[in-house]
Structure 1
């Protein structure tokens, strides 16, 4: 099987998972059929993700691996060395997608320098695609001006039924930039939502499946994580769940701008 040419709609996240926990989670996910894995330099688990991949026996050609450049490594002369270190830990000669993890407004390094280094990494085949994460409209505009929208494979942002980020989503789509949703289940906060519970009951599904299906029906990629094999298996079924227009409208009405991830020194001014 060849490496996917576009970003897979469904993958497994590894945020906050460490040591044997992340090894078990990724190995279980791969055994269940997941083929996209999302990690980051700051997660401190790239080596364990690499170990899980090696032990899984799944051919590298079937996988789509994403990592993210941490703010300490965004200087033009640090991007490629740090990415090479990530590759060493992951046990691969290239990743499929490399993102700038946060815009970090107080970071003195110009965005154009970081993107230029990422374009060089792409030219060197250290990464197949590049993109951004946690970018607002201003930063995404600057990224597009620097390297063109065609070179921004995705903007990975916090996005859930409670935080629908419509302004940045609409702008990204108007520019042809794909969206990846992280924290789609809002740390589990949405799982007991009465609206999602009612929709789930009608579809004989779980609320997690409903939230993930909602995001995918809007065209977003999703990367839910879990330490439990049963949840990893259940989440996969979101790919075949089709919500009605009424379901989608009901979920759209849940928007409450409930942002859970907003670190002072890293986050931009949100739209």
Structure 2
């Protein structure tokens, strides 16, 4: 398992299992399977309604807690200082854990303008040792810059929709310049359109890999963190089998050039519920 070192010195696996839209009971089996395959990072969220299932999967896998890296997130309606602290404790109870490795703000919800206050609650949790690292999801440059200006603990990462058709190149450059990792959700693109792209398929054929494996390798080779989601055991294995090849500079450029700024999820400025 390849790890990256976050800006606070904590090591995080570069690939993890995402469990968005996975039912609670199914999450238990998926998490257990992923850990058996070799994954050590699991990404969930309060709004996914599967934290209990994730916690059960962690227990069933029987791997020492300190070998795992568990992420969860505060949902929009729980933003605010006190409500974030409360939401965190509830997530911890559902996961049946003593701490989480990474706690994130799920969306900036800029019209509500509570993300700075919410982030200060994350700082408190970090200072109290209840989380090992803190960060954000779906933040644009303007939102990140405000945290850098008004808060004291730099986010370790920004988890955003990212795939070859939505390369997030400007945002990634900003994150790189500020020692903030970009973490890709929906890394294979919802609906999988990118997996049918001829550029991706040709590279996959060259390496004897699947298009999905090539896209995951693209994320890794651009030094991003990636959390592909699957509930299918064979796909969970396939998505992890990406450490025996690397893409050339020309191949990276050809995939970078596929960018269409094509989102499948909402734009961060538009989601305020």
Q: Contact conserved, 1:103 with 1:266, CA < 8 A, in 2?
A: no
In 2, Cα distance between equivalents of 1:231 and 1:37: 16
Report Cα offsets for 1:129-154 as digits up to 9, x if no partner: 00010000100101111224x63110
Report Cα offsets for 1:97-121 as digits up to 9, x if no partner: 0000000122242x32111111111
Say which of 24, 36, 39 aligns to 2:44: 39
Report Cα offsets for 1:21-41 as digits up to 9, x if no partner: 211111110111100000001
Say which of 79, 89, 104 aligns to 1:74: 79
Does residue 159 (structure 1) correspond to residue 162 (structure 2)? The answer is yes
Distance 1:257 1:264, change over 3 A: closer
In 1, Cα distance between equivalents of 2:19 and 2:208: 28
Report Cα offsets for 1:168-207 as digits up to 9, x if no partner: 1111111121110111100222111111110000011111
Per the alignment, in what secondary structure is the counterpart of residue 239 of structure 1? coil
Does residue 205 (structure 1) correspond to residue 173 (structure 2)? The answer is no
Per the alignment, in what secondary structure is the counterpart of residue 82 of structure 2? coil
Q: State how 1:77-88 maps to structure 2 within 5 Å.
A: 77-88=82-93
In 2, Cα distance between equivalents of 1:15 and 1:146: 31
* TM-score of the two chains, using structure 2 as the length reference: 0.92
Could you say what the CA RMSD is over the residues aligned between the two structures, in angstroms? 1.7
97-106 vs 235-244, which deviates more?
A: 235-244
Give the aligned partner of residue 32 of structure 2: 27
Say which of 46, 49, 53 aligns to 1:48: 53
Which contiguous aligned blocks of 4+ residues in structure 1 show a shift greater than 3 angstroms? 263-268
**Runs of at least 5 residues in structure 2 that lack an aligned partner in the other structure:** none
Give the aligned partner of residue 6 of structure 1: 11
**Runs of at least 5 residues in structure 1 that lack an aligned partner in the other structure:** none
Give the aligned partner of residue 255 of structure 2: 251
Give the aligned partner of residue 123 of structure 1: 127
Q: Contact conserved, 2:44 with 2:73, CA < 8 A, in 1?
A: yes
Q: Contact conserved, 2:24 with 2:51, CA < 8 A, in 1?
A: no
Number of residue equivalences: 264
